[in-house]
Amino acid sequence: MNFIAAISILGLTKGGDFFRMKAKLVLEDGTVLVGTSFGAPNSSAGEVVFNTGMVGYPESMTDPSYQGQILVCTYPLIGNYGVPAQIKSMGMAKYFESERMQISGLVVADYSENYSHWASIRSLSEWLTEQGIPAITGIDTRYLTKRLRTKGVMLGKIIIDKNIDFYDPNKSNLVDKVSIKKPVLYKSGKKKVVLVDCGAKNNIIRSLLRRKVSVLRVPWNYPFETLKFDGLMISNGPGDPKMCKQTINSIKAVMKKEVPIFGICLGNQLLALAAGADTYKLKFGHRSQNQPCIEVGTKRCYITSQNHGFAVNPKKLSSQWKQWFVNANDKTNEGIKHKSKPFYSVQFHPEATPGPTDTDWLFDKFIGDLQ
């Protein structure tokens, strides 16, 4: 028996200058898709979701909002520009949205082993292996995405070395897993903003520091209502917002002080819950860099970056609040605003990374309200 035949019997396939193990993606509805693995050679489970962005996989894969999820990239070619170095700037990872990979697994149609980019120092497969995250290629991601759009996001598992049970991340307090454990201060100006870290992307902090305000980053369950500050920022994050009861109660207390409050993504949902409204789980969520959002009462439409699976029910808002933005595709809520006080939030990501910076002006509005 020759070497290639032996490798085939072991369940490995040749890819470039290395050998890949056979792998399969199993969905909770019984669907099985067979491909080959790259990245860490171990099995993993989570909620299977799709992202329609064409670029930005390093930023997306380190976004804490993806905690517990297996990410499906609808753009077919992934890995062609590699991965940049893990260097620090402003006290955090310069090219990533957190200090580690957050996804539970990656699914792509065609993984590119060869990469080229001025900032890249390694392949996507090498990075995944280092982080212990499995990935599968050779999957019909168009078929998979259509199935998730039709039936809704569902649990799944990437099987490589052994079979494992399904895991439902929505039953866990994912925010507690991704939030920092003790406060961190980033100095940049006299005004101070408290950032409630529910899984904050690094570029939220960068966006504030560039505007010359100091940022006190606190854990999700920290009693931040007892602190003295000029403004409150509620970050993005993973999972069901109703898990964050301590955060909601602290937001309620801060609202009595009438200092400016700005929420992003999960922060939109938490502010709505603190205001007495309700949230619900979307069928397949919004995960992309091309979501059109209309500012209510105007003809302005912004192209936004998004990553969320829950939404605010605007019908449950009190008469003191109004919708600020709505999604042009499905009319779901994309932001709320108090009618008389400086409390507001958006469901999309004005900090982008990845995605367009059309709504970066929202940070300027928030900083202006601190004066």
Per-residue pLDDT 10s for the chain (371 aa) are 443 333 334 444 444 434 579 999 999 999 999 999 999 999 999 999 999 999 999 999 999 999 999 999 999 999 999 999 999 999 999 999 999 999 999 999 999 999 999 999 999 999 999 999 999 999 999 999 999 999 999 999 999 999 999 999 999 999 999 999 999 999 999 999 999 999 999 999 999 999 999 999 999 999 999 999 999 999 999 999 999 999 999 999 999 998 999 999 999 999 999 999 999 999 999 999 999 999 999 999 999 999 999 999 999 999 999 999 999 999 999 999 999 999 999 999 999 999 999 999 999 999 999 97
- pLDDT score, position 19: 52
CA-based R_g, the chain, Å = 21
Range of the domain at 264: 174-370
Residue 338 sits in the same domain as residue 229:
yes
CATH of the domain at 110: 3.50.30.20
CATH of the domain at 201: 3.40.50.880
- Do 159 and 26 contact (CB within 8 A), yes or no? yes
- Residue 304, classed as helix, strand or coil, is strand
Residue 37 sits in the same domain as residue 148:
yes
Residue 159 sits in the same domain as residue 197:
no
- Of the candidates 47, 265, 308, 334, the residue annotated as catalytic is 265
Alpha carbons 187 and 190: distance in angstroms, whole number: 8
Terminal alpha carbon distance of the chain:
77
Closest-CA residue to 337 (of 287, 262, 230, 247): 262
Q: Which of 171, 197, 215 is the last residue of a domain?
A: 171
Closest-CA residue to 362 (of 299, 300, 279): 300
Q: Which of 119, 141, 171 is the last residue of a domain?
A: 171
- pLDDT score, position 20: 74
Residue 196 sits in the same domain as residue 338:
yes
Q: Where are the beta strands (DSSP E) in 101-253?
A: 105-107, 110-111, 120-122, 134-137, 154-159, 184-186, 192-197, 214-219, 231-234
Alpha carbons 351 and 217: distance in angstroms, whole number: 16
- Of the candidates 286, 308, 338, 349, the residue annotated as catalytic is 349
Non-local CB neighbours of 317 within 8 Å, separated by 6+ positions: 272, 275, 277, 323, 336
Residue 323 sits in the same domain as residue 225:
yes
Non-local CB neighbours of 330 within 8 Å, separated by 6+ positions: none
Non-local CB neighbours of 179 within 8 Å, separated by 6+ positions: 197, 198, 199, 219, 220, 221, 237
- pLDDT score, position 300: 97
- pLDDT score, position 63: 98
**Domain count along the chain:** 2
Residue 87 sits in the same domain as residue 236:
no
Asked about 286 being catalytic, the answer comes back as no
Q: Which of 111, 140, 171 is the last residue of a domain?
A: 171
Residue 92 sits in the same domain as residue 238:
no
Interaxial angle between packed helices 266-274 and 245-255, expressed in degrees from 0 to 180 and rounded to the nearest 10: 60
Alpha carbons 78 and 86: distance in angstroms, whole number: 20
- Residue 354, classed as helix, strand or coil, is coil
Residue 21 sits in the same domain as residue 136:
yes
- 3 burial (CB, 10 Å; 0-12 / 13-18 / 19+) is exposed
pTM for the full predicted model = 0.94
- Do 198 and 237 contact (CB within 8 A), yes or no? yes
Backbone angles phi, psi at 247, to 5 degrees: -65, -45
Alpha carbons 13 and 15: distance in angstroms, whole number: 6
- pLDDT score, position 371: 75
Asked about 265 being catalytic, the answer comes back as yes
Residue 161 sits in the same domain as residue 178:
no
Residue 246 sits in the same domain as residue 138:
no
Residue 189 sits in the same domain as residue 126:
no
- Do 302 and 252 contact (CB within 8 A), yes or no? no
Residue 7 sits in the same domain as residue 63:
yes
272 alpha carbon, distance to own chain's centre: 19
